[in-house]
Structure 1
Amino acid sequence: MTEMIRALVVDDERYAREEMIYLLEQFERVKIVGEADSGELAIIKAMQLQPDVVFLDIEMPKVDGMEVARTLGSLKKVPLVVFATAYPQFAAEAFRVHAIDYLLKPYDEEQLRQTIARVEQLLQPKTDASPKRIDRLPVEMEGEIHYIPIGDILYVHREENWTKIVTPTRDYETRMTLKELENRLTYSSFFRIHKSILVNLVHVSSLTPWFNGAYQLEVDQRPEKLSVSRNYVKELRQRLEG
């Protein structure tokens, strides 16, 4: 990637905007294309300037940062969103509007450096037509955001109003539906084996006939047997056996 990263800085406090602009100007490949002191102006400038990334405050009068982020998501060119705020309690909601990072004031320069590196990676031109694969899944649990490496997930199981994400070391529970997770994991090695189960094919260790055309499946490092509905068996075997 050789083009400049076009950044829009949004904060209703002048000195906070100036500080963020100063810090961003230390990065050779970041170009500040505009700034805004309100949510309304942020949306207008994003439409006019088409930035690659918006550094966005949350607590603003009238139109707050969350509403701005939701509106930006509907634009023809959707910019990356990095929240920059003094309030840690909005982190969980921030990731529900697909923010790529959450910076707390006063800003930590090393964290900002990592954020810019993430922006650069996400803006890299794709070398083929394949969608970009994510390598970590953000999951909110008990007020915290856990970043689960996709490769560590053994399987995902929907149980009543919760979805359980199973890894070798621990289980995570989320209110995300199985369909939501399936959509997020589309370009990874996951396959639905039952109406309530997604399995990471990388970790499948055995497949055993059961009854009426159904099978039972086992994954690495877990003793339980998972039910494979007969409607999924043929495609599952094709995926596993190449």
Structure 2
Amino acid sequence: MYKIAICDDNLFFIKQLRTMLKEKIRSDDQIEIYEYHSGEQLLMEMDHFFDVIFMDVVLPKRDGMSIAEELYRMNPLILLIYCSGTILPTTEAFQVQPYRYLLKQEMNQSWDRNIDDILHEMKLRNQKILKVTCEKEERWIHSDNLLYVMTEGKHSKITFYENEEKQRKIKTITVRENIREIEEKMDQETCYRVHRSVIVQFNYIVQIKNNIITMEDGQKIQISRMKAKKFHEKFSDYMGVKYRREK
């Protein structure tokens, strides 16, 4: 299920955009569209995270840019689309990096192609986003940011990178989902379950010695004997692909 929010105080514009989106949505797509007429209303009613938010830059009381900053603190994986009648955006508009900055006066010209791009990007990103439950709250984590996952009882403990106050920090949280559910969302070419209860992401391995992996945060992980041969094969393949890309 994809969730799209439109935040704009112009009801006619919302109606136009909703119509455009519905024309682009395939019959087998599960997409819900929500409407908000102010940034404050969006923040108050944001009891779930959205895949895409169309945000008017100029809104009553608080502008869309300050609302966007707050939204990103809640969920930095939102696909943000600024909608504006201003041709030259200010530098403040890009304090939070939008995926698109669309001009309302060009709605009948360039929006058709942009909507296609936005919906395509939404689906691509969703494939790599882990939606997990931590302390009864939904969290979104990009699977590429995971260092490793460990089983903790019936649940899992995830160690990952997260941007906090414009700094990249390592965090560890315990989530309700089990390791198999998380593994299904991860890129099988860049990760491997080295033990029944541990998945590692190849990109964050700094050393392998005597079948012991050292991760970027210093965590040491033992590779099980049954998994060792397959792990080394997969890791060699990964490094070969990575080397070719960097040449």
Q: TM-score range by the shorter chain?
A: 0.3 to 0.5
TM-score (norm 1): 0.48
TM-score for the superposition, normalised by structure 2:
0.47
